[in-house]
Amino acid sequence: MAQEYHYTWTWDLASTPEALWPLVSDTNRFNRDTGLPPMQMLGIQNGVKRVKFKFPVRVEWEEEPFEWTYPYRFGILRRYRTGPAGGNAGGLPPRTASTLRHAPDVSSTGQTPPPVGRPRHCVWDWDIQPETIWRSVSTVRPHRLTRGPAAGRCDGKKSHRERTRPLQTLSDRLRADGADGKTLDRLYEYLHRADDLSIQRMRPYALADGWGLPRRTVLETFLKATRAGMLDMYWDLLCPECRGVAKDHAHLSELSGRSHCSTCEIDFHVNLDHNVEVIFRPNPSVRAVDAAVEFCVGSPQKQPHIVFSLVVPPREELPISTMLQEGRYRLRASGLEGTQNLVATKDGPAQKDFHADALGWSTDIQPIGLSPYIRLLNRTDFTQTFKLERTAWSDQAATAADVTTLQVFRDLFSSEVLRPEEEISVGSTALMFTDLRNSTKLYREIGDAPAFGRVREHFEILERSIAAEGGAIIKTMGDSIMGAFRKPVSALRAIWSVQKELAARGVPPLLIKVGIHHGPCIAVNLNDRLDYFGSTVNIAARLPGFSSGGEAIFTESIRNDPEVLEFLERNAAPNSLTRFQGELRGYDKPMELWRVKV
């Protein structure tokens, strides 16, 4: 007969539940800090993971999926196949703004009641006594929960001088080459002091937010540090369902248009601006780190887009409270097809019931408040797992689309391209085509050498202005260029700057014809260069033909962008913006276009 043990530790803290959540729910670091050895995944069947570690003998268990409700509680059930315990149901549920409770329940594996109530494997009985567990749990003092990953300990075994010498040399070299000094200072400190778990997967946007520095500045510095040999760059392929790392690629050429997630058991199409994230690790010459080491194979912190994941038995209901950000969500139940779409607003209902039944989900988008009280009602004869997910991807992810549209990336990593014949979708890109007006006439009027100098100068101005707005020149074609940006307003700001500088340089003043369009496209390898194809590219390429010079022609998708509207209100002269219909070669119907004098 198994012996059960129940323990509870409680801390009084000043932090709010939402402040505690990202720290407490990081069970990977918690398990490491409590002295547990690394874990190894053996397989997944019906959502249940088989995991093992040595402690010091083989310990193997089946781990049910975590259940949680942001930001109040989470728990996990483990059924041990080998080792001292028969099961462990526990978690770290922050209950209120001032109380944090850790309550593991453990049953021993003894099958026959041994003397004086001890389990058969009496050597392990000590490990589940309060004083022993407290010795491990108490290593995670409450004050440590207020410290971010960057403040963690350095796990390297080298001396201080051995660790810092190559790092300092590379940092000084990058600084001399013009890399951002503030970012280098932060990066130096981070690589020296952060623990191994923090540097396994360094996300430049997340670090930039924590350091209080501009995101693009940090990302570009990381790219320069990679080129210098301080960092290594990886292309993480994220599953669209669990959003975990399905595959880790060292080169862009390893990406394929289709991939597979072994956790969710699904195949999916790859999209450069949704599920390919660029991350960094220190180069082994600076600091060695094992990126495969894990102390927990799953936790709420690994799926921050999921607000709650809860199991409700047949014909039962579960009341919960949670916190939401403004935006769109989707609710799903494991045994039902489809999802219920929601939109969270500050004026949304404070209470909401959701039924899992034979009728399925409503096709309407349901409103909900930001701190709702929710009842999950399972009206089926089967256990249902309810999950509420934010539909927006994390804005702290530096996606492949972000990185590959940076001029710094194009300059430093020109060999990073897709495989020949590979085509990968890009959900949204702003494309700009330019053409120099009357360039042939310019050569005739001022001579070949002076004209060539003016044309070359115009390319330099274009490249500088495009790079300043976070874009990149994809290719040049005679006197024309094709540029790419992540946001439409960046393209407009860039060409505004270009035309003003061209107008101030020399006589006759150069005039540039510009077309800007925004939409999905396909990334390809063309002549060993990362290029784009598709209808968005075709439309953008035809737009400069409607310009007489000194004008930007753009489509309705550009005109309706809120940031573009704001820019035009502040910078365009009165009555300089006009609407017209243009017939594009290859398209049956005229297209609504806009013209603005730059």
Give the mean pLDDT of 167-188: 95
Query: CB neighbours (10 Å) of residue 285?
Result: 11
Could you read off the pLDDT of 550-570 as tens digits, one per residue? 899 999 999 999 999 999 999
Bridge-based pairing state of the strands 327-333 and 384-390: antiparallel
Give the mean pLDDT of 17-23: 86
Lowest mean pLDDT among 233-242, 352-361, 450-459: 450-459
Give the mean pLDDT of 510-516: 91
Cβ–Cβ < 8 Å for 518, 559 = no
Same fold, 4-147 and 417-597: no
Domain ranges of the chain: 4-147, 150-300, 306-390, 417-597
Give domain 4-147's CATH architecture: 2-Layer Sandwich (3.30)
- Can you tell me the distance from the alpha carbon of 135 to that of 123, in angstroms, rounded to the nearest whole number? 17
- Can you tell me the distance from the alpha carbon of 302 to that of 66, in angstroms, rounded to the nearest whole number? 11
- Can you tell me the distance from the alpha carbon of 69 to that of 371, in angstroms, rounded to the nearest whole number? 12
Strand partners, 354: 376
The fold adopted by the segment(s) 417-597 is Alpha-Beta Plaits (3.30.70)
End-to-end CA distance of the chain: 83
Q: Is the predicted pLDDT of residue 483 greater than 50, yes or no? A: yes
Give the mean pLDDT of 243-260: 92
Cis previous bond, 508, omega within 30? yes
- Can you tell me the distance from the alpha carbon of 194 to that of 459, in angstroms, rounded to the nearest whole number? 43
Question: What SS3 state is found at 463?
Answer: helix
pTM for the full model?
Answer: 0.86
CA nearest 473: which of 517, 529, 522? 529
Lowest mean pLDDT among 5-14, 122-131, 324-333, 536-545: 122-131
Give the mean pLDDT of 318-322: 95
DSSP state of 272: T
- Listed in sequence order, the residues at least 6 apart from 598 whose beta carbon sits closer than 8 Å to its beta carbon are 495, 496, 499, 500, 514, 550, 551, 552
Q: Is 415 exposed, middle or buried (0-12, 13-18, 19+ CB in 10 A)?
A: exposed
Name, of 284-288, 344-348, 458-462, 574-578, the range with top average pLDDT.
344-348
CA nearest 493: which of 470, 525, 519? 470
CA nearest 261: which of 51, 47, 27? 47
Q: Is the predicted pLDDT of residue 436 greater than 60, yes or no? A: yes
Could you give the dihedral angle defined by the CA atoms of residues 260, 263, 265 and 271, in that order, rounded to the nearest 10 degrees?
-40
pLDDT at 90: 59
pLDDT at 128: 30
Cβ–Cβ < 8 Å for 397, 277 = yes
Q: Which residue has the higher pLDDT, 493 or 30?
A: 493
Q: Output the CA–CA distances (angstroms, integers) from residue 312 to 71, 333, 376, in the order listed.
A: 19, 10, 8
Cβ–Cβ < 8 Å for 535, 426 = no
Give the mean pLDDT of 192-220: 95
Query: CB neighbours (10 Å) of residue 189?
Result: 13
> Is residue 158 very low, low, confident or very high in pLDDT (cuts 50, 70, 90)?
low
What's the 3-state SS for 39-64?
EEEEEEECCEEEEEEECCCEEEEEEC
